[in-house]
């Protein structure tokens, strides 16, 4: 496998972190999170806590990324930590579940907000809800639902894949431009709402009558944390392209710290702005919360402007993810005959062209078969299992590779990675329990965490097949 060029500058790495994170979560998840926890203060704390936990995980990963600044990110890290088998399972999961589902779900929000300006067509309800297949113990999938939204989502994925196929620099330049637009728009949103005088801080003291209690609150809070984790997901994009970053030992940890710190501040202020301008009960039932908040502040024009901002934001985030996530699929082709085709560099444009298109094809499949909430819940559960394992791997590498040069060491070791791994373990267990309880109670059509685990487990026989093929070759 030929090497990709180190062409990504310091500014581009920061843009990739911020652009990869701020996409759809902050515009889609606050309403459902509010309905889950029933309290404005708990809503704000969920965003802050999820941000801090994510930052702890990012700083832990940064140590390993600086040790092995290679294209493929955690796929390469897991090879060093746990061996080729576990690395393959991660690469398979990244391809089959969380990277491609992440691309699909962000692009999905882009298409949903297109609906603000142009009503996208839908089939008759009876046709949309027709069950094509049933997965035992997991639930039903309705591929014909929201066909207009799905069509626009597919079109966006194919366009951005084409741009990144022809040039890394084109994709990076587009990312810097869209990130600047996004940052300016969000500052306008926060400042315009908080200083409009059209809201009330008394909304912070409102609670919903359905606010859960006891263990139910723990499950609800973890569900809200899952939504916030989705909002912060994308931070590891910079690890995927580590082999293409200039001066990676300096730029990777710097971009992760600055980018995530900026996002924690922005997310907290955006949620505060929503709460300020919308009564909490209205916030919890809003389908387009950002546009609703802007409409209260500036009228219908404000709602339209915010919808346009979200379209630009999700466009930038989708581009960042299409660019970065294909690098994991690309890395899988190194030394694995079954995926060797994906590991080939496009000779003329020096891009991971085959990996880009392989990711795009599977992303289209997920778009057709899924919905926004199904995709996000499934990918968060699986991706955070691997995030936890990467945090645990920091301890393994400190023990096995004591003399390996480390230009960057995670701050607060061992407390920071211990806190990270412990929280991830609790989050995964509580999420699985809650998902099963909701499915049994009939309040959820599918057990998203189990669906993600099922697709992940399919990678085990595929690994042994690829290993056999590699051995024969």
Residue 225 pLDDT: 93
Residue 26 pLDDT: 84
At residue 208 the predicted structure's pLDDT band, cuts being 50, 70 and 90, is very high
Boundaries of domain holding 299: 10-472
In whole angstroms, what is the distance from residue 317 CA to residue 142 CA? 26
- Residues 379-392: pLDDT tens digits? 888 999 999 999 99
Q: Is residue 148 part of a domain?
A: yes
Mean pLDDT for the chain? 85
Q: Is residue 2 part of a domain?
A: no
Predicted confidence (pLDDT) at residue 138 exceeds the cutoff of 60: no
Q: Is residue 169 part of a domain?
A: yes
- Residues 48-74: pLDDT tens digits? 999 999 999 999 988 998 888 887 778
Provide, rounded to the nearest whole percent, the portion of the chain with pLDDT above 90: 36
Q: Is residue 450 part of a domain?
A: yes
At residue 280 the predicted structure's pLDDT band, cuts being 50, 70 and 90, is very high
Q: What are phi and psi of 241, to 5 degrees?
A: -105, 25
Handedness of CA 432, 38, 30, 263 (dihedral sign): negative
Residue 46 pLDDT: 97
Residue 420 pLDDT: 95
Contact (CB, 8 A) for 237 and 322: no
Provide, rounded to the nearest whole percent, the portion of the chain with pLDDT above 70: 92
Q: Is residue 3 part of a domain?
A: no
395 versus 140: which is more confidently predicted? 395
Longest dimension (CA), the chain: 71
- Residues 234-249: pLDDT tens digits? 788 787 777 788 888 8
Q: Is residue 226 part of a domain?
A: yes
Contact (CB, 8 A) for 15 and 21: no
Q: Is residue 1 part of a domain?
A: no
For 423, half-sphere exposure in the C-beta direction (CA atoms, 13 angstrom radius) is 21
Residue 172 pLDDT: 64
Predicted confidence (pLDDT) at residue 1 exceeds the cutoff of 50: no
Predicted confidence (pLDDT) at residue 157 exceeds the cutoff of 50: yes
Residue 65 pLDDT: 87
- Count of the separate structural domains present in the chain: 1
443 versus 417: which is more confidently predicted? 417
Q: What is the CATH number of the domain that holds 240?
A: 1.20.1740.10
Contact (CB, 8 A) for 251 and 13: yes
- Residues 10-21: pLDDT tens digits? 887 888 788 778
27-36, 186-195, 314-323, 365-374: range with lowest mean pLDDT: 365-374
Q: How many helices (H) does the chain have, and how many strands (E)?
A: 20, 2
Q: Is residue 5 part of a domain?
A: no
Task: Give the strand pairing for 133-135 and 139-141.
Answer: antiparallel
In whole angstroms, what is the distance from residue 100 CA to residue 363 CA? 5
**Run of H or E including 139:** strand 139-141
Residue 373 pLDDT: 67
């Amino acid at each position: 496998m030929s090497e990709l060029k180190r062409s990504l500058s310091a500014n581009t790495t920061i843009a990739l972190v911020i652009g990869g994170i701020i996409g759809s979560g902050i515009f889609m998840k606050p309403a459902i999170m509010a309905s889950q926890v029933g309290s404005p203060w708990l809503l704000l704390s969920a965003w802050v806590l999820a941000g801090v936990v994510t930052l702890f995980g990012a700083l832990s990963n940064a140590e390993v990324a600086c040790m092995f600044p290679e294209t493929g990110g955690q796929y390469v890290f897991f090879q060093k930590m746990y061996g080729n088998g576990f690395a393959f399972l991660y690469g398979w999961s990244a391809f089959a579940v969380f990277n491609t589902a992440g691309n699909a779900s962000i692009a999905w929000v882009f298409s949903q907000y297109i609906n603000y300006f142009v009503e996208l067509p839908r089939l008759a309800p009876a046709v949309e809800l027709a069950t094509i297949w049933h997965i035992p113990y997991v639930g039903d999938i309705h591929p014909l639902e929201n066909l207009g939204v799905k069509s626009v989502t597919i079109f966006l994925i194919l366009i951005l894949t084409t741009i990144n196929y022809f040039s890394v620099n084109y994709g990076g330049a587009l990312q810097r431009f869209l990130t600047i637009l996004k940052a300016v728009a969000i500052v306008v949103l926060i400042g315009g709402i908080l200083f409009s005088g059209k809201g009330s801080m008394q909304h912070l003291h409102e609670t919903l009558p359905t606010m859960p209690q006891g263990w139910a609150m723990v499950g609800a809070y973890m569900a809200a944390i899952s939504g916030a984790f989705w909002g912060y997901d994308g931070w590891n994009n910079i690890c995927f392209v580590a082999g293409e970053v200039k001066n990676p030992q300096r730029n990777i940890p710097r971009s992760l710290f600055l980018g995530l710190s900026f996002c924690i501040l922005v997310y907290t202020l955006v949620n505060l702005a929503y709460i300020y301008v919308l009564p909490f009960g209205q916030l919890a039932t809003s389908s387009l919360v950002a546009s609703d908040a802007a409409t209260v502040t500036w009228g219908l024009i404000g709602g339209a402007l915010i919808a346009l901002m979200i379209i630009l934001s999700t466009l930038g985030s989708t581009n960042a993810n299409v660019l970065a996530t294909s690098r994991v699929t690309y890395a899988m082709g190194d030394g694995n005959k079954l995926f060797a085709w994906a590991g080939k560099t496009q000779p003329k444009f020096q891009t991971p062209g085959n990996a880009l298109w392989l990711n795009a094809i599977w992303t289209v499949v997920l778009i057709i078969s899924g919905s926004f909430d199904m995709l996000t819940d499934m990918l968060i559960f699986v991706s955070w299992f691997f995030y936890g394992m990467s945090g645990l791997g920091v301890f393994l590498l400190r023990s096995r590779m004591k003399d390996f040069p480390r230009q960057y060491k995670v701050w607060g070791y061992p407390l920071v990675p211990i806190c990270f791994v412990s929280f991830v373990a609790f989050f995964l267990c509580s999420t699985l329990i809650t998902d099963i309880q909701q499915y049994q109670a009939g309040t959820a059509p599918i057990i998203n965490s189990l669906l993600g685990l099922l697709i992940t487990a399919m990678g085990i026989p595929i690994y042994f097949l690829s290993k056999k093929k590699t051995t024969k070759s």
